[in-house]
Copies of this chain bind each other. A is one copy, B any other.
Amino acid sequence: MDCSRATSQTRSPPPCERSPRACASLPGRSVGSRRIEDLGEFDLLDLIRAHLGQRLSTTVRGPGGDAAILETETGRLALSTDAAVEGVHFDLRFMSLADAGWRAVVGALGDLSAVGAEPRAVLLSCGFRGELEVASVEELFATLDALGEEEGFDLVGGDVVASPHAVFFDVVVVGRLTLSSSVDRSGARPGDLLAVTGTLGGAMAGLASLRRAGKRPSDPSPAELDYLRPGSPLRPGIALAACPIHAMTDISDGLAEELLALARANEELAFVVDPTRLPVAEGVDAEAKESGRDPAEMALSGGEDSELLLTVLPEDYSALKRALDALHPATRLTVIGEVIGAPADAPAQQRTLARSQDGEIRPLALRGFEHFRRSGR
């Protein structure tokens, strides 16, 4: 099993002294409480650009012109966008604008990591309410620049527009595939193990705790931090994609939802999860007790964890775990189930299964996040 290419890095380790994830906030350069409706558009863009560094030699032209320009090597580029809307995906009553932007960018990086692409550029379009404080916009971009330093990307462009009712972000990520073939959701095989990085349910528990508090704590708990400033799966994803795994996807829409996506992308296969094996995050048990829910169900349907789900041959699993341990010792890898054959005509819902404690296999009760459905339908 050859994971050697996973060690190649095109950049040096970040020089930051403290992790931006651990910071309650990064200081803006503004004082007082100016609002962005007090600035002209040019002034706002100048202020944003003042916070953005450039670190990749492939960035020929960054923000400010009609278009950003990248130097590209021959090969393949991965492109993805991820949109998030205030009141739907985030709530600024108990998180900062910087938290919301961090979550949006880490979510988009998850799409790059799922195909094993090295980041080349990030663009961020923002819809801002005019009454947002200038200092919060400065904190947002200083925080994203620090994230760029840590994960190795430049913020090369984007757009800033007025959105009177709700803040929104749309994150564009551009990455380079360094491998000859890219991994994706399809490619799973019967007999594969189903494994997941990190821990599950933490972000959901953190969100519940933040909702109860109604404001952002000055010293967030680990679960709250899982929600406010999730770790990026980008570097572990690049390492895993260099190994002979069969299928991989990020699970920011929730494990149950992504199992369904795997089932849709892999016909004649069923995905069986053992709920007792799910790596439940710190703080989930306490939150489950508080809210009368089941910890495993929170881990399954959480929908906010920035982790990766993959399938791999059982005989390759130990080497995969050793490779990940060597490169990213902080990233756990846990087997949570298996892939089995299924009838060709079975719909995806019937190929997403859970093994109950008595060993029986039943359809997984899905509580996926369906964006547009009216409740009660």
Binding site for B on A (CB under 8 A): 36-42, 44, 60-61, 65-85, 87-89, 110-112, 114-115, 117, 121, 123, 125-128, 130, 156-166, 168, 170, 172-175, 177, 182, 184-185, 249-250, 260, 264-265, 370-374, 377
Contacts and interface: CB of A to CB of B under 8 A. Distances in A.
A117 B81 contact: no
Given A115-B65, A125-B170, A130-B372, A79 B85 contact: no
A206 to B, nearest CB: 21
A188 to B, nearest CB: 14
A74 B76 contact: no
14 contacts: A37-B374, A42-B260, A60-B76, A66-B114, A66-B250, A79-B157, A81-B159, A82-B159, A83-B161, A87-B164, A130-B372, A161-B371, A165-B166, A168-B168
Contact of A72 (B67, B76, B265): B76
B168 A371 contact: no
B79 A37 contact: no
A117 B79 contact: no
Given A79-B172, A81-B125, 11 more contacts: A67-B79, A67-B115, A70-B76, A71-B75, A71-B76, A73-B74, A79-B121, A80-B157, A81-B157, A88-B164, A165-B166
Number of copies: 2
Contact of A249 (B66, B82, B370): B66
Contacts of A163: 85, 88, 166, 168
Given A67-B114, A165-B166, A170-B170, A81 B185 contact: no
Contacts of A249: 66
Contact of A127 (B83, B158, B184, B260): B83
A81 B170 contact: yes
A86 to B, nearest CB: 9
